[in-house]
C-alpha cells in the first residue's frame, strides 16, 4: 500500500514525484489515457504535499489550475499571442516546455501543449502564402553552422537576426539570460509569492552556481530573485562576448546566402547538400554550405545538361558487334573468309592415309 504523501519527507516526496512523472510517460506511451489521468492526479497531490513540506503552506486553492488535458483555463488570447507574451518576457529562443511554464507562472491561463507542435509549421505556411501580412511571426532559431532550423526552439520574427542565431555557446547564454529576466520580473511586486513562480525560480537556480547559496528565508526550495539574477549575470559575463561574436559572423553569412523566408524559418538541408555536391563537390560527411535559390536552380540545370551529353556520347560510341571469324589454319595464320555464294566448291579434304573423303571429280 503506498504511503500517504503527507507522511513523506521532502526528499522522499521528490523521489515520489520523479517516479510518478516516469509512470505518466509510460502510460501515455502505452496509450492508457485513463491510467495516465489517475497518475497525473496523484502527481498533483504529491506536488502539493512538497509545497506544504518545503514552503510551509498548502498553497492557495485559487492558484491551482487544472491539468491542460482536462479542460485547463486557456485565457482569452489566441495561442500565438500567448506564446509571443512568454517569449517577450524571456527574450531568447526557447523550447515549448519552458514557454508553457513561464506563461503559466506569470500570465492567466495555460498554453495547450498540443498546439505548440504545429504552430511553427502554420506560421511558415502563412508567411510563404502572404509575406509580412502579420505584425510578427513565430519562427525558428537558426543554427550557426548550417543556417537550418534549430530543433525545438521558437523565436519571434521581429527580433534581430543575431538574437535568433543559435551557436555553440548560445544554449548556456540563453539559459542565463532567461534566468535573469525571469528573476527580474518575479522581483516586481508580489509575483515571487506565487507557488508556480517559486518553482520556476528554483528550476533556474539549481542549474546556476551560487544561485542557491543565500536563499531569502533560509528554506530549501525558496530562491531570492535578486541573488538568482546576480549569479546568472556573473556567469553570463564569461561567455557573452564569444557567443556574440559567433552569432554576428553567422548572421552575416545568413544575410548573404538566404532569402526572406529562409532567414525566418531556416534552409532545407536536403536541397543544400544536393546543390553543393553538384556545384563543387563537398567531401562526404562534411556539412554543406547554404546555397541561394538561384544558384541551386543553375546547378540543377547544369547537372541535367551534363547527364544528357554523357548519354549522347555513350550512344555514339556503341557499334554493331563483328561476325565471328573462322578457325585459324595450320601454321597460325587465319584462314581467308569465303563467300557462301561462290560457284566453285571447296576441294575435298584428304584423310591421313591418302584416301579421299568423297568421290574425286
- pLDDT tens readout for residues 68-98: 333 444 456 889 999 999 999 999 999 999 9
Evaluate if residue 228 carries a pLDDT over 60: yes
Mean pLDDT of the chain: 77
Residue with cell 527580474: 184
Which contiguous run of DSSP H or E holds residue 113? helix 113-129
- Which distant-in-sequence residues (6+ apart) come within 8 Å of 212 by Cβ? 205, 206, 223
Residue 56's pLDDT is 59
190-223 tens-digit pLDDT: 666 788 898 999 999 999 999 887 555 556 678 8
- pLDDT band at residue 346 using 50, 70 and 90 as cut-offs: low
Q: Which residues contact 37 (CB under 8 A, 6 or more apart)?
A: 67, 69, 70
- Report the percentage of the chain scoring pLDDT > 90: 39
pLDDT digits (tens, 9 = 90+) for 273-304: 544 454 555 554 455 555 556 666 767 777 77
Segment 243-270 mean pLDDT: 92
Percentage with pLDDT > 70 across the chain: 67
Please, how many CA atoms are within 13 Å of residue 204, restricted to the half-sphere of its CB? 36
- In this predicted structure, the answer to whether residue 123 has a pLDDT above a threshold of 70 is yes
User: Between residues 330 and 144, which one has the greater pLDDT?
Assistant: 144
Across the range 124-146, mean pLDDT stands at 93
Q: What per-residue confidence (pLDDT) applies to 293?
A: 61
Cα 111 to Cα 224: distance, rounded to the nearest angstrom: 27
Whole-number pLDDT of residue 159: 96
65 or 310, higher pLDDT: 310
What is the grid cell recorded at 33? Answer: 489515457
Please indicate whether residue 31 or residue 1 has the higher confidence score (pLDDT).
31
Three-state DSSP at 287 gives coil
**Measured in Å, how far apart are the chain's first and last C-alpha atoms?**
120
Burial 233-258 (b: 16+ CB within 10 A, else e): eebbeeeeeebeebbeebbeebeebb
Flag the least confident range among 8-17, 106-115, 141-150, 278-287.
278-287
Q: Minimum mean pLDDT among 151-160, 205-214, 226-235, 250-259: which range?
A: 205-214
The pLDDT assigned to 321 comes to 53
C-alpha cell, 32: 492508457
> Which of these, 59, 75, 61, 81, lies nearest to 110 by C-alpha position?
75
Amino acid at each position: 500500500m503506498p504511503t500517504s504523501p503527507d507522511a513523506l519527507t521532502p526528499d522522499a516526496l521528490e523521489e515520489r514525484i520523479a517516479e510518478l512523472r516516469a509512470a505518466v510517460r509510460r502510460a501515455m506511451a502505452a496509450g492508457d489515457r485513463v491510467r495516465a489521468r489517475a497518475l497525473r492526479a496523484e502527481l498533483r497531490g504529491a506536488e502539493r504535499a512538497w509545497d506544504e513540506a518545503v514552503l510551509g503552506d498548502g498553497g492557495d486553492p485559487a492558484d491551482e489550475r487544472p491539468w491542460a488535458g482536462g479542460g485547463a483555463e486557456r485565457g482569452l488570447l489566441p495561442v500565438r499571442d500567448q506564446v509571443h507574451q512568454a517569449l517577450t518576457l524571456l527574450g531568447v529562443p526557447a523550447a515549448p516546455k519552458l514557454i508553457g511554464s513561464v506563461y503559466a507562472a506569470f500570465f492567466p491561463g495555460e498554453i495547450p501543449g498540443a498546439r505548440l507542435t504545429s504552430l511553427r509549421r502554420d506560421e511558415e505556411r502563412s508567411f510563404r502564402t502572404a509575406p509580412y501580412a502579420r505584425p510578427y511571426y513565430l519562427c525558428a532559431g537558426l543554427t550557426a553552422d548550417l543556417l537550418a532550423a534549430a530543433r525545438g526552439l521558437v523565436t519571434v520574427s521581429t527580433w534581430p537576426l543575431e538574437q535568433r542565431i543559435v551557436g555553440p555557446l548560445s544554449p548556456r547564454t540563453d539559459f542565463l539570460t532567461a534566468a535573469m529576466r525571469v528573476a527580474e520580473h518575479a522581483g516586481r511586486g508580489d509575483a515571487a509569492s506565487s507557488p508556480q513562480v517559486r518553482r520556476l525560480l528554483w528550476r533556474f537556480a539549481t542549474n546556476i552556481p551560487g544561485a542557491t547559496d543565500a536563499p531569502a528565508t533560509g528554506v530549501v526550495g525558496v530562491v531570492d530573485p535578486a541573488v538568482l539574477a546576480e549569479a546568472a549575470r556573473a556567469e553570463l559575463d564569461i561567455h557573452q562576448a564569444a557567443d556574440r561574436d559567433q552569432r554576428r559572423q553567422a548572421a552575416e553569412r545568413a544575410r548573404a546566402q538566404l532569402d526572406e523566408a529562409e532567414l525566418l524559418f531556416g534552409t532545407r538541408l536536403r536541397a543544400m547538400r544536393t546543390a553543393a555536391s553538384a556545384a563543387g563537390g563537398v567531401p562526404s560527411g562534411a556539412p554543406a554550405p547554404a546555397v541561394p535559390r538561384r544558384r541551386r536552380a543553375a546547378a540543377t540545370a547544369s547537372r541535367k545538361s551534363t547527364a544528357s551529353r554523357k548519354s549522347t556520347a555513350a550512344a555514339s560510341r556503341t557499334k554493331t558487334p563483328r561476325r565471328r571469324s573462322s578457325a585459324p589454319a595450320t601454321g597460325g595464320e587465319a584462314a581467308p573468309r569465303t563467300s557462301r555464294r561462290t560457284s566453285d566448291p571447296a576441294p575435298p579434304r584428304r584423310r591421313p592415309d591418302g584416301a579421299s573423303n568423297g568421290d574425286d571429280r
